[in-house]
Amino acid sequence: MDSVTKRYPDGTVAVDGLSLEIPDRTITVLVGPSGCGKTTTLRMINRMVEPSEGTILVDGVDVQKQPVNTLRRSMGYVIQNAGLFQHRTIADNIATVPRLLGWSKQKARARAEELMERVGLDASLAKRYPYQLSGGQQQRVGVARALAADPPVLLMDEPFSAVDPVVRKGLQEELLRIQGELGKTIIFVTHDIDEAIRLGTKVAVMRAGGRLAQFAEPAELLSAPADAFVEDFLGADRGIRRLSFFPSEGLELLTGPVVAVGATAEQTAAREASGAPYLLVTDGGGKPLGWSEPGSLPGAAAEELLPYGRPFVAGQDSLRVALDCAVLSPTGWAVAVDGTGRVVGVVSQETIGEAIRGAHAAGRKADVAGRKTDTEGRKADVAG
């Protein structure tokens, strides 16, 4: 996208001199407050809106140089309320673009069934009508319909903003999975910065007047917002959110204060000596039961144990999850489990705090290194 501008006849400028290079096979998120021109930007890519100035190239070809309907059929298009055709069945909705491209009925039908499975819809829904589906299911149909003709590019305009948060999270995970499987180039518009950070490989933050405020990877956005506007838009807890990008892998876990439920008094005494103010009691299978006050026997009834909040999966969850677990736990200690839910250790808030400081320091070093290779890369580009 090269210095694209959209000016309406009444003089309003929706998008002002926007230049963006959208990487292939990744999710690029356009995010910003309402009226920042993010939707207009998206709609200029498939020419639902014609730019006033500038050019948009897809794989080096100017979108203006292609017949408009050919262009649109080569890009999946997903909109906010799914925009399903109420008078057509789910299968027929999904088969829309293949039918436009002249596929046979059987081939389009087979493709629709394949896609329903891909987006996690039960095959029995094929003959239903949109009104019989929930909002989340309708949106899945919207995504399936966009994928039907296997377009390399997917344009998504606030696709998940009309569904409730739980369903939205499911749809986001599904989108990441589909993207991982199919490797589409997705351009995703949202006003929700959390969604942008969760989904985006790169995030373009736009400000009112259709200007680009910052175009960066989510981690960089959180650690180094370009200006006060971006910082403000990211919200107050960007420090906490940034922890999502730090793995819990290096956390030093203590196994000392962990004791099985049927342990003998000597074993318990030995465990108590390990320095932790509480003992974590596990059941016979190694699953956590709760915290025991020092001195009280770990053989005590389960209701006398302090709740352990929720555990985090060591190595898999981020530091943000680990910290959250520690904060939730009344003892201030987080419980680390493996993939099967067995306790692998416990960790205190202080230890997590140290890990965060360590990650920050490592991040700064990586940033400097990254910038250096970046500059070198650019030099090589110029030389080439």
Examine residue 89 and tell whether it contacts another protein (CB under 8 A): yes
Examine residue 68 and tell whether it contacts another protein (CB under 8 A): yes
Examine residue 184 and tell whether it contacts another protein (CB under 8 A): no
Nearer to another protein, 39 or 268 (CB): 39
Nearer to another protein, 131 or 266 (CB): 131
Name residues whose C-beta falls within 8 Å of residue 372's C-beta, 6 or more positions apart in sequence: none
CB of 25 to another protein, least distance (A): 22
Question: Binders of another protein among 286-345, rule CB under 8 A?
Answer: none
For residue 17, give both structure tokens: 């001199």
- Give Cα separations from 370 to 131, 235, 336, 376 (angstroms): 50, 26, 32, 10
CB of 153 to another protein, least distance (A): 12
Question: Site for another protein (CB under 8 A): which residue of 29, 77, 248, 351?
Answer: 77
Edge-to-edge order in the sheet of strand 279-282: 258-260, 279-282, 288-292
Nearer to another protein, 85 or 287 (CB): 85
Q: Considering all CA atoms of the chain, what is the largest pairwise distance in Å, rounded to the nearest integer? A: 84
- Give Cα separations from 251 to 33, 280, 350 (angstroms): 37, 18, 11
Question: Site for another protein (CB under 8 A): which residue of 13, 20, 48, 126?
Answer: 48
Examine residue 242 and tell whether it contacts another protein (CB under 8 A): no
Termini Cα distance of the chain:
22
Examine residue 134 and tell whether it contacts another protein (CB under 8 A): no
Sign of CA dihedral 221, 225, 79, 131: positive
Examine residue 81 and tell whether it contacts another protein (CB under 8 A): yes
d(CA 153, CA 246): 30
Q: Which amino acid is at 116?
A: M
d(CA 164, CA 70): 35
Helix (H) or strand (E) holding 227: none
Residues near another protein (CB under 8 A), total: 30
CB of 82 to another protein, least distance (A): 7
Q: Which stretch binds another protein (CB under 8 A): 79-87, 249-257, 304-312, 327-335?
A: 79-87
Name residues whose C-beta falls within 8 Å of residue 369's C-beta, 6 or more positions apart in sequence: none
CB of 97 to another protein, least distance (A): 5
d(CA 267, CA 262): 10
Examine residue 156 and tell whether it contacts another protein (CB under 8 A): no
CB atoms within 10 A of CB 377: 10
Examine residue 137 and tell whether it contacts another protein (CB under 8 A): no
The label of the residue with tokens 């005494």 reads 269
Question: Site for another protein (CB under 8 A): which residue of 6, 72, 191, 320?
Answer: 72
Examine residue 69 and tell whether it contacts another protein (CB under 8 A): yes
- Give the bridge partners for 156, in sequence order: 78, 188
Examine residue 202 and tell whether it contacts another protein (CB under 8 A): no
CB of 110 to another protein, least distance (A): 19
d(CA 334, CA 258): 12
Examine residue 100 and tell whether it contacts another protein (CB under 8 A): yes
Examine residue 40 and tell whether it contacts another protein (CB under 8 A): no
Q: Which stretch binds another protein (CB under 8 A): 4-12, 62-70, 107-115, 292-300?
A: 62-70
Question: Site for another protein (CB under 8 A): which residue of 35, 52, 54, 88?
Answer: 88
CB of 88 to another protein, least distance (A): 7
Nearer to another protein, 74 or 179 (CB): 74
For residue 49, give both structure tokens: 């809106």
- Give Cα separations from 192 to 37, 165, 168, 320 (angstroms): 15, 11, 11, 19
CB of 158 to another protein, least distance (A): 11
**Interacting residues with another protein (CB under 8 A):** 46, 48, 68-73, 77, 79-89, 96-97, 100, 129-131, 142, 145-146, 155
